Amino acid sequence: MKTKEYINDNFLLQSEQAVRLYHDYAKKMPIIDYHCHLNPKEIADNKKFDNLYDVWLSGDHYKWRALRANGVSEEYITGEKDPKDKFQKWAETVPYTLRNPLYHWTHIELKNTFGITDLLNDNNGAEVYDTCTNLLNTDDYSVQNLIRKSNVEVICTTDDPIDNLQYHKQIKESDFEVKVIPAWRPDKAMAIEKEDFNTYINQLSEVSGIEISTYSDLLKALEKRHQFFHENGCKLSDHGIEEFYADDYSAEEIENIFGKARKGEELSSTEILKFKSAMLFDFAVMDYNKGWTQQFHYGVVRNNNEAMFNKLGPDTGYDSIGSFDIAKTLNKFLNNLSSAGKLSKTILYNINPADNDIIATAIANFQDGTSAGKIQFGSGWWFLDQKQGMEAQMNSLSNHGLLSRFVGMLTDSRSFLSYSRHEYFRRILCDILGDDMEKGLVPNDMDMVGKMVQDICYNNAKEYFKF
């Protein structure tokens, strides 16, 4: 008897209603990928990847963590081994990822991108590598065509304030029909505790043309770059922070703290927190004044393995979930902005599932009727962008807010094959609602619930961001 195809049409859809919701309402909706880490140069150049390793495993710290856990030597992960040999180690590891979302993602991406429905393992690794590499060497599998095949309408990259955005300009002037928009990520400008802080401030000074000696100078330089991003289509900011910073401070204190930092003097932990609090507030004011949406990804404890950080640098698979007391600081931060009349559209992403209900209840404190879902509980992020994490996020949002106004999924990825995560999310969403329909928890009204599905998959984001 022929085994049922693993990633089949009804994968993850466990009721008749879920099947209908996905195939009739969710499946064909375009993708607005409003936060990712794709390289705009590769889009502008319409890059063709040399092989499957380069497009699929290079830089993918999710897979790197699994390879290490499976006992694979670092020379096959970030080392100099042949790409085909590296991929073979991944093929050998995949069967051991059962119940890890990587098993789902791997096979969805193989099917959606390359039409491969076989389960990846040590026996077929070489064949899969050769087949996919041959396809990647054709024009049909260039970066822009990979994006087109995924039905993507908008991409928002993640860009530093000192970036000249030349590749965004190149894309805009080309015949590529997908909008590729920069997003402002100013983390380095508030990392006053880092050894290279002054080096970065000097770079900011150079690109802005403003000599930065005082905190006021710093704000002028950042505002000038903020305006430059705005003129180049930017409508979103994104901040990667450990926790929310909302310490009380005076303007004089911040000037003194910044002055000490510029002289290379050591700062106390209190001074660092005050500076970050001032910066986070001032960044939010800039966003409000431009009508941007601000995003906050918080809670990661980064670079925990010092030896490997020194060897490989950041974003190589040595980060983990942190535990921070954010209930008071988050509400205080949002309240400070609301009291000043400067609270723009905001999306909050937690990485610790223990914070789900904290976020879901905090956002309700600052909805003000000016925009539906103005303050958003962002989709399951990083360690939570898997089935259980997505379900938990949507259940908390449903219990304490309006799931119907949710702006849905994003890839948060560096890979051009990751658009399958939108399908993964949509199947999970439809399964949740289909199960509720079957149990009588929501009305068995396909048009009503189907509209809700389409809104979450696409319409809400389109209206919210107004790209």
Can you give the pLDDT of all 467 residues of the chain as single tens digits?
345 799 999 999 999 999 999 999 999 999 999 999 999 999 999 999 999 999 999 989 999 999 999 999 999 999 999 999 999 999 999 999 999 999 999 999 999 999 999 999 999 999 999 999 999 999 999 999 999 999 999 999 999 999 999 999 999 999 999 999 999 999 999 999 999 999 999 999 999 999 999 999 999 999 999 999 999 999 999 999 999 999 999 999 999 999 999 999 999 999 999 999 999 999 999 999 999 999 999 999 999 999 999 999 999 999 999 999 999 999 999 999 999 999 999 999 999 999 999 999 999 999 999 999 999 999 999 999 999 999 999 999 999 999 999 999 999 999 999 999 999 999 999 999 999 999 999 999 999 999 999 999 999 999 999 99
Instruction: Write down the pLDDT at residue 2.
Output: 43
In 3D space, the residue among 24, 116, 148, 112 whose CA is nearest the CA of residue 420 turns out to be 112
pTM for this model (two decimals)? 0.96
Longest dimension (CA), the chain: 77
Q: Where are the alpha helices (DSSP H) in 232-355?
A: 251-262, 269-290, 306-312, 327-339
Of 227, 196, 238, 204, give the one whose Cα is nearest residue 290.
227
Cα–Cα nearest to 34, from 334, 280, 237, 289: 237
- Distance separating alpha carbons of residues 438 and 19, to the nearest angstrom: 12
The 8-class DSSP code of residue 162 comes to: T
C-alpha span between 377 and 360 (Å, rounded): 6
Interatomic CA distance for residues 274 and 143, integer angstroms: 43
Tell me if 134 sits within 8 A of 3, measured CB to CB: no
Q: In terms of DSSP bridges, do strands 31-33 and 152-156 run parallel, antiparallel, or are they unpaired?
A: parallel
Specify the pLDDT at position 230. Answer: 98
What pLDDT does 11 receive?
A: 97
Structural contact between residues 346 and 375, judged by C-beta atoms closer than 8 angstroms = yes
Sheet holding 375-377, edge to edge: 236-241, 293-298, 346-350, 375-377
Closest CA to 134 of 49, 42, 47: 49
DSSP category for residue 317: S
159: β partners: 184
For 38, how many CA atoms within 13 A lie in the half-sphere containing its CB?
33
Calpha distance 307→415 (Å, rounded):
27
In terms of Cβ atoms closer than 10 Å to its own Cβ (0-12, 13-18, 19+), residue 378 is buried
Cβ partners under 8 Å of residue 98, min gap 6: none
pLDDT tens across 222-243, in order? 999 999 999 999 999 999 999 9
Q: Which residues 6+ apart lie within 8 Å of 64 measured at CB?
A: 57, 77, 78, 316, 317
The span from the CA of 270 to the CA of 25, in Å, is 52
Q: Which residue has the tokens 């590598």?
A: 129
Angle, in degrees to the nearest 10, between helices 387-400 and 420-439: 50
